[in-house]
Amino acid sequence: MLSKRKKIFILVSMVLLLLVTGYLNVALNNNDKELQTTTTTANFFTTCRADKISSRNYQLEIYDSIISASADASEIQNAKNMKADIAAKVETEMILEGKIQASGYDDVIVTCSGDNVNVFVKTANGLTSSEVAKILSILVSELDVKATNVKITPVE
């Protein structure tokens, strides 16, 4: 049989192991939450970019099919003009994203549709009013758009 001291030692050891296991479980779960937040933000920007590219490619395919299938010269010219507009919009959005990123942001997505502009900015703690003003200044000067038509959304 085991002596009383050995039984107490085994019992205390098991309790200590249980406490260490509980502590490690809590500590590792907190790290997983931080990792999930970072992954979610990265997935947002990746997904948004992929959706934007996919949508533009679909539009270009439609215009290409009109150009190749149509016999009407005005319809063909209109499709070519729409393709040129898409290319100009893509270039403008890329320039704006670059300028905003150069202001100190890790990731930015800009989408322009008509007179409206949407900006998604990756931030750790949201945006201050001066940061919003800086981004708005870039957009207004480059696009000649009204500030009321701009929506800036921080993504954490």
> How large is the greatest C-alpha to C-alpha distance in the chain, in angstroms?
101
Q: Which residue has the higher pLDDT, 88 or 31?
A: 88
Count of alpha carbons within 13 angstroms of residue 27, beta-carbon side: 6
Whole-number Å distance between alpha carbons of 7 and 15: 12
* pLDDT at residue 33, rounded to an integer: 56
Q: For residues 87 and 100, is the Cβ–Cβ distance under 8 A?
A: no
All structural domains of the chain = 4-155 (1.10.287.4300)
Cα end-to-end distance, the chain, whole Å: 61
Does the pLDDT of residue 69 top 80, yes or no?
Answer: yes
Mean pLDDT, residues 15-36 taken together: 69
Tell me the two tokens of residue 4: 């009383």
Does the pLDDT of residue 30 top 80, yes or no?
Answer: no
Mean pLDDT, residues 134-156 taken together: 89
Does the pLDDT of residue 38 top 70, yes or no?
Answer: no
Q: Which residue has the higher pLDDT, 128 or 9?
A: 128
